[in-house]
Amino acid sequence: MNFFIIIQARMTSTRLPGKVMLPLCGKPALEIMLERLKKFKKNVIIATTDDGTEKQIVDLCKKLDVKYYQGDTNNVLSRYYEAAVKFDAKNETIIVRCTSDCPLIDPDIVQSVINTYQNGSIDHITASGFPRGLDAEAFSFSLLQEAFLNATKDYEKEHVTPYIYLTNKEKFKLAQFNSDKDASKFRITLDEQEDYLAIKEIYKKFNCNTSFNYNELLSVLEENKYIYELNAHIEQKKLKE
């Protein structure tokens, strides 16, 4: 199966600058995320920026022997496309989109998204009903190329896939890989200081072991209401239309 997991990562987050390199269990948060995805190491590409702020990210990729690409800071769509091209993606190559603010990402969910995409006659699939911070989407390189060549709106370029699932939702066959239980109220993404506190608490519960599965994670979230309350008030950033 030919696929790339492309993870966008930058140091210039407006709400929590340098968040991907914040210490988590004695390592940068991005390294913890990569540990969670270690079974996919040869398929991972870090798509970072070329604005001069990305040295720590590049150095980490070199240290861990992870593929990386440096591209436009704001046009993340071009960064994805050019990263895929650099590593010889073909039309049928599956592109999995993840973001670096997900240090609790679940490899089994990512694998299920890939499998469901591969086994169905669909153009785009996204994980749905899981806590925010376990996000994953899959689509073909040929569709990524179409978006790259035709997207015109700023939010289509900043968020990579709105051209597919929003602008052209009638054109493409869209699908979801749904959680058995709706857990979307939980927020475990890394965007704000309160998110950072919540994520650190979760890893404390696992004694900084990165090998837990989704059901174990969900049990921690359900059994520790105080973690949910740390960042429940934060509103997710909206698409800028």
Output the pLDDT for position 44: 98
Average pLDDT over residues 105-134: 97
* Residues constituting the chain: 241
Is the predicted pLDDT of residue 150 greater than 90, yes or no?
A: yes
Structural domains for the chain: 3-231 (3.90.550.10)
Is the predicted pLDDT of residue 238 greater than 80, yes or no?
A: no
User: What φ, ψ does residue 236 adopt, rounded to 5°?
Assistant: -70, 140
CA distance 169 to 166: 5
CA distance 169 to 105: 26
Mean pLDDT computed over every residue of the chain: 96
Output the pLDDT for position 241: 44
Going through 32-187 in order, the beta strands assigned E by DSSP cover 44-49, 67-71, 94-99, 124-128, 137-140, 174-178
Q: What torsion, rounded to 10 degrees, do the Cα atoms 179, 197, 74, 173 define? A: 0
Output the pLDDT for position 240: 58
* pLDDT tens by residue, 164-216: 999 999 999 999 999 999 999 999 999 999 999 999 999 999 999 999 999 99
Average pLDDT over residues 90-112: 97
pTM of the model: 0.96
CA distances from 112 to 22, 106, 175, 213 (A): 29, 10, 13, 13
Is the predicted pLDDT of residue 100 greater than 80, yes or no?
A: yes
Joined together, the tokens standing for residue 107 give 């490899």
Average pLDDT over residues 18-36: 98
CA distance 68 to 218: 31
CA distances from 136 to 2, 52, 95, 122, 229 (A): 17, 28, 10, 15, 25
CA distance 193 to 30: 16
Q: 128's torsion region: left (phi>0), alpha (psi -120 to 50) or beta?
A: beta
- Other beta carbons less than 10 A from residue 185's beta carbon: 10
